[in-house]
Amino acid sequence: MGNGTFITFEGPDGAGKTTIIKMVAEHLNNVLVTREPGGIDIAEQIRRVILAKENTAMDPRTEALLYAAARRQHLIERVKPALAEGKVVLCDRFVDSSLAYQGYARGVGMDEVFTINQFAIEDMMPKLTIYFDIEPELGLKRINNNKGREINRLDLENLAFHHKVREGYHILLEWFPDRMVKIDASGTLDEVFQTTLKLVKAKLKTP
Ligand code: TMP
């Protein structure tokens, strides 16, 4: 994996991840900020297919496979080279999103989705995953207030789906207690940012 550090950020939609990641990056050296699904051309193309509002016929397993394919390409083209250069890679979503959204909320099965993802990522798991926890009602309210943000096919899911996503993440916190840390994302931007930065800096100090 090289000498870099792979850190991922997770959470329901509207938790504020994307903004906080950018703020954290400004306080670190030698950092790459990237996101899933996408960040590179082939993965962005796959992202468009997954999230297009007209693709309502998409089967949940197809959705899981497409996310895994986009993940693979992004990992090979972007994440691995940066880690080999010793960078800190801050990635907006990774395998846990597939486990929570497709595995749990869509009902494909968390074990099944983990299996196909292991094929995609081999053994490349993050050193730290920060999970931004928020009530779906508040998350969706934030999305609706953020006029510049795109509304995608998954944003259009009903509230029950978003509650399931959150439940899925809570299961993952139990599955991966050493890797995943939960942050309460209902606080102010500055509170969430300070807590996140502290966690990231502490992890960067550990061997
Ligand atoms: P974003 O809004 O964070 O860019 O993510 C796009 C949507 O894709 C979001 O609703 C979460 C969803 N998603 C999955 O369902 N599975 C995945 O594996 C990933 C990476 C994202």
Nearest CA to ligand 1 atom 8: 154
Which ligand 1 atom is the nearest neighbour of the CA of 35? Answer: 4
- Interval 50-69 mean pLDDT: 95
Q: Report the residue count for the chain.
A: 207
124 pLDDT above the threshold of 90: yes
pLDDT of amino acid 201: 97
Q: Distance, CA 194 to ligand 1 centroid (Å)?
A: 25
Structural domains of the chain, with CATH: 5-204 (3.40.50.300)
pLDDT of amino acid 12: 86
Which ligand 1 atom is the nearest neighbour of the CA of 37? Answer: 20
pLDDT of amino acid 15: 86
Which ligand 1 atom is the nearest neighbour of the CA of 155? Answer: 10
Nearest CA to ligand 1 atom 2: 13
Q: Distance, CA 37 to ligand 1 centroid (Å)?
A: 7
Q: Determine the residue of 10, 97, 98, 140 to mutate for testing ligand 1's pocket, defined as the one with the most ligand atoms within 8 A of the Cβ atom.
A: 97
- Interval 25-49 mean pLDDT: 91
Sheet holding 31-35, edge to edge: 31-35, 88-92, 5-10, 128-133, 180-184
112 pLDDT above the threshold of 70: yes
Using CA of residue 51, residue 54, residue 56, residue 59, what is the dihedral sign? negative
Q: Find out whether the beta carbon of 162 lies less than 6 Å from any atom of ligand 1.
A: no
pLDDT of amino acid 151: 65
Q: Find out whether the beta carbon of 154 lies less than 6 Å from any atom of ligand 1.
A: yes
Q: Find out whether the beta carbon of 101 lies less than 6 Å from any atom of ligand 1.
A: yes
- pLDDT, tens only, 143-187: 778 766 666 666 666 789 999 999 999 999 999 999 999 999 999
- What share of the chain has pLDDT > 70, as a percent? 93
Amino acid at 1: M
CA gap 158, 205 in Å, rounded: 41
